[in-house]
Amino acid sequence: MPKRVGYLWEKLTSWQNLYLAYKNACKHKKSKYETAEWMFYCEKNLWELQKELINGNYRPQPYRYFTIKEPKERLISVAVFRDRLVHHSLINVIEPYFESIFIKDSYATRKGKGLHLAVLAVQKYSRQYPWFLKLDIEKFFNNIDHNILLKLISSKIKDPMIINLCSIILKNQNLSMNHNEEIGLPVGNLTSQFFANIYLNQLDHYIKQNLGYKGYVRYMDDFILFSENKDKLKSDLLLIKYFLSNILKLKIKDKSIQMNKVNQGIPFLGYRVFPKLIRVSNINLKRCLQNMQKREKEYIRGKIEIEKLYQSTRSRLGFISFANTYYLQKLIWGGVHKAEPTV
């Protein structure tokens, strides 16, 4: 059993931690009216929030919602600024203790990790093993069980005030959507991403330690196992399904299951990864180019500022240029956005 940590509430509610959380919550949001208003009355607002937390009176406000269509339709939850600040204050305090028990092969929303390093890890293992098994969890965020999650958090954190705050944050999704099920995390929350890693940490250790996989990469709910033996992957798939169903109340998305030789290419996070080559998947390439064209037209029509165009283009080019796309980049910089698929 890992050592449990207590006496964290005073640290969470300290002025130093709340001010750090405030600065983190402000990043890339200063132009928004809600953030600017909070900044104008920063000291007063922080003092009032600190008082609410210490007295046990803090209650989050309902989420705002919007839907995105790409890459698939998802409902995004947006917390108000003061609640985002509380999320940051919580993560500031408890993250180091969970980082100490996370495996190195989990790459989503962790300092010093990220999407590109996950892809490079997949490529590294593709050079060491001939077979891979790629899996995805069905409706992952929607199916996370609150009671299981709180038990997992409590296995490391014993401060009752911290656990209570986690519970309040979890219940806010239910209150905002007027349902009583103790299940699901709001997509878009900082805490949701962190809680998701806590939830799947058990799976990580099961695959690495119980099943004995050295070649393993997980990015949120997408994960890949590598092996010398195709039959081992087949038999362990059944064990993984059983573990997810009985321990975490989750299930594998059947359509996502892919088992193949690594030299056929591994589809992962918008790329197709080969032992000596990384390509952008057809659908992601098309989506990137269409988005760049759309932003250019919006800029020409005066709908967006040059900064927005620059940020959007830079993001898309960063995604494309990570892969082996030299000639495609030449076409783009030459002003031609219509290119042949790379896969």
Q: pLDDT band at residue 41, thresholds of 50, 70 and 90?
A: confident
- Check whether 122 has a pLDDT greater than 50: yes
- Report pLDDT digits (tens) over 204-235: 999 999 999 999 999 999 999 999 999 999 99
pLDDT tens digits along 250-295: 999 999 999 999 999 999 988 889 999 988 766 776 776 667 777 7
Mean pLDDT check: name the lowest of 203-212, 306-315, 330-339.
Answer: 330-339
Calculate the alpha carbon distances from 187 to 256, 263, 286, 326 in Å.
20, 34, 25, 35
Quick: pLDDT tens for 49-79: 999 999 999 999 998 888 887 667 788 888 9
**Could you say which DSSP state residue 252 is in?**
B
Mean pLDDT, range 75-103, rounded to an integer: 94
Most distant pair of Cα atoms in the chain: their distance: 63
Nearest to 134 by CA among 208, 209, 244, 227: 227
Quick check: 183 and 189 in contact, CB under 8 A? no
Cβ(40)–Cβ(71) under 8 Å? no
Nearest Cα to Cα of residue 104 among 273, 218, 269, 239? 218
pLDDT tens-place string over residues 183-201: 999 988 899 999 999 999 9
* CATH architecture, domain defined by 117-135+200-277: 2-Layer Sandwich (3.30)
Task: Give the Cα-Cα-Cα angle 60, 66, 71 (nearest 5 degrees).
Answer: 125
Record the pTM: 0.85
Beta strands in the chain (DSSP E): 64-68, 74-78, 131-136, 216-219, 222-227, 258-261, 266-268, 271-274, 277-280
For the chain, give every residue range classified as CATH 3.30.70.270. Answer: 117-135+200-277
CA atoms within 13 A on the CB side of 99: 13
